[in-house]
Structure 1
Amino acid sequence: MKAIVQERFGPPDVLRPAEIESPAAGPDQVLVQIHAAAVNPYDWHMLRGDPYVARLLGGVGLTRPKSLVAGIDAAGEVVAVGAGVDGVRPGDQVLGFCPGAFAEFACTTPGLLVPKPAGLGFEEAAAVPMAAVTALRGIRTVGRAQAGQRVLVNGAAGGIGTFAVQIAVSLGAEVTGVCSTRNVELVRSLGAAHVVDHTREDFTERGERYDLILDNVGGRPLGLLRRALTPRGTLVANGGGSPGHVFGAMGSLLRVVAADPFVRQRLRPLVPTVPDGPVHEDLLAVTALIEAGRVTPVVDRTYPLADTAAGVRHVEQGHARGKTVITVA
């Protein structure tokens, strides 16, 4: 099968097309023909083995990538199931987490898949898993957003941000999105009641106070973020770090954890959504919102499988609107 492989850590240029053996569904596994796969910041972190501390924790690989084929978000069609699999059959159209998604076929487990909403194409469906589940957890699970609250999403035009704005609106919150000039109309179209152009003003200096801030960008001093919260408001920190950092976003998230016991506000890190986590219920919740017409994936660009490196490079530069998707078959 055609696949994009990575044999060493490095920039997107280390990715290369190759012909490799197709996987087979083992016991409790599902074989999916991949039609589209999304690119996440997670992917370039794995590609670079970044932050370096992640290599020591064992999930990335110490001196070279643990997985030959990159990619995790996918949408496609089930072609085979292994022994012991119930509830998923060949021919089912699905979306979810498929390790090795930058390929024509990938194996995963049934708990990491849900039915693809009928109204979504495969490219839109592939944009959903990691970004939408992370946004759901940031806004609903960790952030505890409620109707009538004032919610600010920093990085509102990104992959997670576009989902977060819509999810917060669906919960009845009054949403403010922070983005660059070129994305103001996009964020407004997602339902944000207010949009702050960060190239013209700093949301922490506007005098506004929010019940919940989801920070997808990082890099701001914790004191400034707290200043934009109500006295009992919640900060959900998700972001920070850049290629080559020893600790990456983990350093800023640890500072949030350390400060939380000493303030009245709730300061919470958003633990990354990983493919082996309990995600099935969250995937179902997100697809229910999509089927109800309350959430729509935003796809920025698409690239063919052979140009996956260009797609990863685009996401790594940090200027993608919504999601970047790889078309496979």
Structure 2
Amino acid sequence: MRAVVQHRYGPPSVLESSEVARPSPGRGELLVRVGAASVHPGDYFVMTGEPYLVRSAFGLRRPRHGIPGRDLAGVVAAVGEEVTAFRPGDEVFGWSATGALAEYACVPADHLVSVPADVSIVHAAAVPTSAMTALQAMRDIANVRPGQTVLVTGASGGVGSFAVQIAKAFGAEVTGVCSTRNVDVVRSLGADHFVDYTKTDFTRAEQRYDVILDNVEAHTLAAVRRALTPTGTLIPNSGHGGRWLGPVGRVVRARVRSGFTRQRLTPFTSFSKRRDLLALADLLATGQVAPVIDRTYPLDDAADALRYVGAGHTRGKVVITV
């Protein structure tokens, strides 16, 4: 089968398109014929091995897994022992530990759910990691409720575009922060208001918000706190930072400062959960959430896709078709 292979950490040029053996599903696994796989900043960090902290999970000197990629959608080709929920021919989407950038991938059955009717494979592949991050931030961390005011920075990006829609689905009044060229995208997501950061600094405006999901972190914590209500919640969410520890320093500062104010400063790490994927499938099925697809690339151009994601200006999601 055709697959994207990585033998060392580095820039997108380390990715190679190669012929490799097709895997076989183990107990509790499905063999999925991948139709599409999405990529996000986390995939870029794993590819480069920076911040170096990621290497503790993916291999200290070189990638432990030769085929990158996590989020996918496709058709079940075969089922392993003890799998009863799916059968060959079912359309599924979800996440794998690795190996999504290939024609076939073995995935634990409990990492997958059925693709809703009228949702394409490309759109389904765009959902798992980014949408689960947005869902957990809005529902579990911020506990967004009807009537609250929510501000999302990077509102046109992968996590941001889902967060705007999910906050609206929860009944919030949502403001999206974006650049001039992305105003129409943010408006199409259902945002009630938008802030063009090239013209306005939201941290210096008079408006205060109950919840701020900061996907960009272009301002200091102190500056963003000025835009919070006295008991508001700030969720810093960015993988950027130093080459060694990435965002850990900012996380520690947020934790410390949170102990000295009624405001909640709550950085978090999202965890993939099947129940959350099922919740997202329901939101997709009802039309309350719809992925924004920026660009699609064929499998052989995966390096170009990661290069584009690494530049940090995507509108919605980048998907690789297989």
1:176 aligned residue: 175
Q: CA deviation at 1:240?
A: 4.6
* Alpha-carbon contact 1:303-1:311 (below 8 Å) kept: yes
1:45 aligned residue: 45
Matches within 5 A, 1:80-229: 80-98=78-96, 99-229=98-228
Relative to structure 2, which stretch is displaced further, 194-203 or 213-222?
Answer: 213-222
Partner Cα separation in structure 2 for residue 319 and residue 76 of structure 1: 27
Partner Cα separation in structure 1 for residue 280 and residue 213 of structure 2: 18
Partner Cα separation in structure 1 for residue 211 and residue 150 of structure 2: 5
**What value does the CA root-mean-square deviation take over the aligned residues?**
1.1
Consecutive unaligned residues of structure 1, counting only runs of 5 or more, are none
2:297 aligned residue: 303
* Alpha-carbon contact 2:296-2:320 (below 8 Å) kept: yes
Task: Report the residue type matching 1:118 in the other structure.
Answer: A
**3-state SS in 2 of match to 1:3:** strand
| TM-score normalised over the length of structure 1 | 0.95
Describe the superposition over 1:79-129 as per-residue Cα deviations: whole angstroms up to 9, x where unpaired.
111111221211110010022100000111111101101111111111000
Task: Report the residue type matching 1:163 in the other structure.
Answer: F
Task: Report the residue type matching 2:221 in the other structure.
Answer: L
Is 1:327 paired with 2:321?
yes
Partner Cα separation in structure 2 for residue 29 and residue 258 of structure 1: 42
Partner Cα separation in structure 1 for residue 185 and residue 113 of structure 2: 28
* Alpha-carbon contact 2:45-2:54 (below 8 Å) kept: no
Q: CA deviation at 1:256?
A: 1.3
Q: CA deviation at 1:31?
A: 0.9
Task: Report the residue type matching 1:83 in the other structure.
Answer: E
Relative to structure 2, which stretch is displaced further, 37-46 or 246-255?
Answer: 246-255
Q: CA deviation at 1:253?
A: 1.8
Is 1:29 paired with 2:32?
no
Task: Report the residue type matching 1:70 in the other structure.
Answer: P
1:248 aligned residue: 246
Describe the superposition over 1:184-218 as per-residue Cα deviations: whole angstroms up to 9, x where unpaired.
01101111010000111111111110000001112
Describe the superposition over 1:262-292 as per-residue Cα deviations: whole angstroms up to 9, x where unpaired.
211111112044xxx4x10100111101111
Is 1:20 paired with 2:27?
no
Consecutive unaligned residues of structure 2, counting only runs of 5 or more, are none
Identity between Structure 1 and Structure 2 (%): 51
Partner Cα separation in structure 2 for residue 115 and residue 186 of structure 1: 28
1:68 aligned residue: 66
* Alpha-carbon contact 1:217-1:240 (below 8 Å) kept: no
Partner Cα separation in structure 2 for residue 235 and residue 134 of structure 1: 15
